[in-house]
A and B are shown apart, each in its own frame.
Chain A
Amino acid sequence: MVEVLQAGFYTSIQDLGRFNTQHYGVPLSGVMDVRAAAIANNLVGNKANAALLEMTMTGPKLQFNEDAAIAITGAHLTPFINGKETSRNKCIYINKGSILSFGVSKLGVRGYIAIKGGFKTKKVLGSRSMYKAVTPICILKKGTLLQIHPSEASPADFFSKLKVKEQYLKSEFLEVYKGPEFDCLSAFEKEKLLKNRFTISKNNSRMGYQLLEPLQNDLTPIITSPVLPGTVQLTPSGTLIVLMQDCQTTGGYPRVLLLTPQAITVLSQKKMNDSVFFKLNE
């Protein structure tokens, strides 16, 4: 059992999400940085869909009431065990009674804590990913108790250490496909969209990232149609909104671009005032 002593800014349990519930209006959810989450699960010998903790900007303070093997990946949130700095991107053994805490993020936004066996919260509609009105709680709070699956992995399955490439945490390029309404844009609008630098606004969350610089356009709203995470919507007033894992299942704004899965991981590590460029994948 792991007890939450402090929750951090926005800490939730995530796995790979709900794949076939969009027709109920239930979002996909799941980890924002699939890559960092996969590395964390790998390091402790978990399957790719094991539930782990996603932390945002500031990490939680956790007390381990049993021995555990964990791995911390993603954003550079300095981890401490019992006040002593410890490593990221490595399988760490943590003793019963120990306290895991974090410093502020030096690079990136979202970090992951995988635990050998995976967190054992209630599975709802096929997933443990927390989402308001779907799971009993949507973020961790002080006092939340988390159970851990007894592990099936043997120590031999672990990658004790992994050389992790983290250049993507600094990347400003978001690789994109053309969205369904891309060709409704004029040549001038297309050029601006693909050449200009865009700044992340304060409205950024697991639902979506709004960009600061408007893109004046003459597009007409579309008849409400399905949307997928990674979709870049363009509103009549010119706001660009990049939909993320917790986004609505349908939308009425033109879908001008769609981020590649890699670009979603890049954007999920961006915060207010960071900037990005779109780069067309052809």
Chain B
Amino acid sequence: MAFKLTYKSYGAYAILIEWPPKINEEILNDILCFKSKLLGANIDTISSCNHAYHSLVVQYKVGNFDGILEVNRLKTIYASTEPLPKTTKTVWYIPVCYDVSFGIDIEKLSKIKKISVEALIRKHTMPEYLVYFIGFLPGFLYLGGLDSTLATERLSVPRLNVIKGAIAIGGSQTGIYPLDSPGGWHIIGNTPIHFFDSSKEEPCFVKPADRIKFFSISLSQYQDIKVLADAGVYQIKKELFNG
């Protein structure tokens, strides 16, 4: 379906395209479809396009840039109905150790939510989280689908250092810290999987529209998987599906 899009200039050499201000899968798919048509058009003056929940920024190379002409070209591409190649998406099964030694906020959170730690883990491992985009930090996935009963206001004072691999809940979102970083979310566990590796040509193995499913592992399983993951030989369980 076609949405009513708005086109705004964002500085001298970029165009911001906005969908209706909502977070849902239909909009994500429409953005990705547009992005794919746009990349397929091989416009050599475009230097990059980057999307988030309901917006796409198209950046152009510095030089002769005619905003009106480019917007018209973008509109034509958006309206074009040429069939897209079927894309395959992936569900990634991500091991998470929810032990209190990693999940330093999990007991506090279970008290706030008035549920057992086990029930909290069940609620967190139940959904297949939808990957909307990567932003904030290299390899940080914006995930949708957190059980609304787990939504928790962020810490009033962020921690100066959250360790790499931390699984956390902040507001109505859940996420994985791909690197050591400051952060204000409640930490409930840790994954030994690396979500960002700058030495690879594709530094992130997860793509927008993929899905993430967490499963609970013990501390000793964590150590075993970590050895393999650090050596780059851990096979992440995955399932393909057609989107």
Is B55's beta carbon under 8 Å from chain A? yes
Do residues B47 and A133 form an inter-chain contact, with CB atoms below 8 A? no
Residue from B11, B48, B203 in contact with A125 in the complex, judged by beta carbons closer than 8 Å: B203
Is B12's beta carbon under 8 Å from chain A? yes
Is B51's beta carbon under 8 Å from chain A? yes
Q: Kindly supply a per-residue 1/0 record for chain A positions 242-262, scoring 1 wherever the CB is within 8 Å of any chain B CB and 0 otherwise.
A: 000000111000010010110
Main secondary structure of the interface of B (DSSP, over half): loop
Nearest chain B CB to A231 CB, angstrom units: 8
Do residues B10 and A180 form an inter-chain contact, with CB atoms below 8 A? yes
Q: Kindly supply a per-residue 1/0 record for chain A positions 223-245, scoring 1 wherever the CB is within 8 Å of any chain B CB and 0 otherwise.
A: 11110101000000000000000
Do residues B135 and A224 form an inter-chain contact, with CB atoms below 8 A? yes
With A19-B47, A23-B133 known as contacts, the answer to whether A225 contacts B198 (CB < 8 A) is: no
Do residues B133 and A250 form an inter-chain contact, with CB atoms below 8 A? yes
Do residues B204 and A19 form an inter-chain contact, with CB atoms below 8 A? no
Q: How many residues of B contact A (CB 8 A)?
A: 40
Q: What is the chain B residue whose CB lies nearest that of A27? A: B138
Residue from B11, B23, B50 in contact with A223 in the complex, judged by beta carbons closer than 8 Å: B23
Main secondary structure of the interface of A (DSSP, over half): loop
Do residues A26 and B8 form an inter-chain contact, with CB atoms below 8 A? no
Q: Kindly supply a per-residue 1/0 record for chain B positions 2-37, scoring 1 wherever the CB is within 8 Å of any chain A CB and 0 otherwise.
A: 000000111110101010011100000000000000
B57 contacts across to A, CB distance below 8 A: 225-226, 228
Do residues B51 and A24 form an inter-chain contact, with CB atoms below 8 A? no
Is A134's beta carbon under 8 Å from chain B? yes
Do residues A23 and B134 form an inter-chain contact, with CB atoms below 8 A? yes
Do residues B199 and A249 form an inter-chain contact, with CB atoms below 8 A? no
With A226-B52, A228-B59 known as contacts, the answer to whether A258 contacts B198 (CB < 8 A) is: no
Is A64's beta carbon under 8 Å from chain B? no
Q: Kindly supply a per-residue 1/0 record for chain A positions 21-48, scoring 1 wherever the CB is within 8 Å of any chain B CB and 0 otherwise.
A: 1111110000000000000000000000
Residue from B21, B50, B136, B198 in contact with A133 in the complex, judged by beta carbons closer than 8 Å: B198
Q: What is the chain B residue whose CB lies nearest that of A179? A: B10
Q: What is the chain A residue whose CB lies nearest that of B58? A: A226
Is B54's beta carbon under 8 Å from chain A? yes
Is B139's beta carbon under 8 Å from chain A? yes
A135 to B52, CA, bound (A): 25
Is B100's beta carbon under 8 Å from chain A? no
A10 contacts across to B, CB distance below 8 A: none
With A228-B11, A250-B136 known as contacts, the answer to whether A19 contacts B48 (CB < 8 A) is: yes
Q: What is the chain A residue whose CB lies nearest that of B135? A: A250
B8 contacts across to A, CB distance below 8 A: 180
Contact sample, A vs B, 29 pairs, CB 8 Å cutoff = A20-B48, A22-B48, A22-B50, A24-B134, A25-B138, A25-B196, A125-B198, A125-B203, A133-B179, A177-B9, A180-B16, A222-B21, A223-B22, A223-B55, A224-B52, A224-B53, A224-B142, A225-B54, A225-B55, A225-B57, A226-B50, A226-B52, A226-B56, A228-B11, A228-B14, A228-B59, A230-B11, A248-B135, A249-B136
Contacts A24-B196, A224-B53 aside, 15 further interface pairs with beta carbons under 8 A come to A20-B47, A25-B135, A25-B139, A133-B138, A133-B179, A180-B8, A224-B135, A225-B54, A226-B52, A228-B11, A230-B11, A248-B136, A249-B50, A249-B135, A258-B11
